[in-house]
């Protein structure tokens, strides 16, 4: 059902331009964070480019091609072979869960709990899944173990990309996260208030709501307003 909804929406809407970039200092130099569209984002550091969940609905015409591509799940807004092929270079590494590698055949498989060193950074796959929400009783939109969230360590900074998930125990147990990208949209993931509850548990220094189509990000920010030490960054992903 999710794939059908996104296919219909893609036929109606043009590619969205990337949002304004933010720059963070790390021990390895500057880290540039660019919101692209929906659940798609780009990191640049030390001359390398990482694209996360690139989707053709974003405007990639002015963005550099990838040294690394991270894919979280099999749904069309995360696994888009056409744009992956456009962004790849000869030595681009694609990293993804096993379910994605059935379609993106060149992907290096990483499973929940596994870590990989990818040149200038380390990536750890962490669980992302639904606890209660699904297309029908007894079914879930995202089952445990199928997809990956990611924790990247870049120049001493720890970045968390949630993927499509509810506020699962593994999210709440994260430690020492500097920058987080947390999803929120119904019916597929969670409400802004539920997302804020997860953030309160693991307390990143900076959090970006993303993958939020149809959600009130101001409600997310309001729920975290009194939480000292957590900066909420609202950016244009659409």
Walk me through the domains of the chain, giving residue ranges and CATH numbers.
2-232 (3.60.15.10)
pTM: 0.93
Residue 130 has pLDDT above 50, yes or no: yes
Q: DSSP secondary structure string, 68-131?
A: EEE---SSTTT--HHHHHHH--TT-EEEE-HHHHTTSTTPEE--TT-EEEETTEEEEEEEE--S
Which 3 state secondary structure label does DSSP give 50? strand
pLDDT tens for residues 189-230? Answer: 999 999 999 999 999 999 999 999 999 999 999 999 999 999
Q: Which residue has the higher pLDDT, 112 or 16?
A: 112
pLDDT tens for residues 81-102? Answer: 999 999 999 999 999 999 999 9
Q: Residue 18: which pLDDT band, with cuts at 50, 70 and 90? A: confident
pLDDT at 15: 65
Residue 14 has pLDDT above 60, yes or no: no
Which 3 state secondary structure label does DSSP give 213? coil
pLDDT at 16: 66
């Amino acid at each position: 059902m999710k794939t059908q909804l996104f296919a219909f929406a893609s036929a109606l809407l043009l590619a969205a331009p990337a949002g304004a970039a933010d720059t963070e200092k790390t021990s390895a130099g500057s880290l540039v964070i660019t919101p692209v569209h929906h659940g798609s984002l780009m990191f640049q550091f030390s001359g390398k480019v990482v694209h996360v969940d690139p989707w053709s609905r974003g405007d990639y015409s002015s963005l550099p091609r990838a040294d690394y591509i991270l894919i979280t799940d099999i749904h069309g807004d995360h696994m888009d072979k056409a744009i992956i092929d456009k962004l790849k270079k000869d030595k681009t590494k694609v990293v993804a869960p096993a379910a994605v590698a059935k379609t993106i055949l060149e992907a290096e498989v990483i499973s929940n709990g596994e870590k990989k060193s990818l040149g200038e950074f380390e990536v750890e796959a962490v669980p992302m899944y639904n606890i209660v929400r699904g297309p029908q009783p007894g079914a879930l939109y995202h089952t445990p173990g199928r997809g990956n969230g990611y924790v990247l360590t870049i120049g001493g900074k720890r970045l968390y990309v949630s993927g499509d998930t509810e506020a699962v125990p593994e999210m709440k147990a994260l430690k020492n996260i500097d920058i987080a990208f947390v999803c929120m949209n119904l019916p597929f993931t969670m409400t802004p208030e539920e997302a804020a509850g997860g953030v309160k548990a693991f307390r990143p220094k900076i959090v970006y709501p993303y993958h939020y189509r149809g959600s009130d990000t101001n409600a997310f920010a309001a729920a975290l307003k009194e939480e000292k030490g957590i900066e909420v960054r609202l950016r244009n992903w659409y």
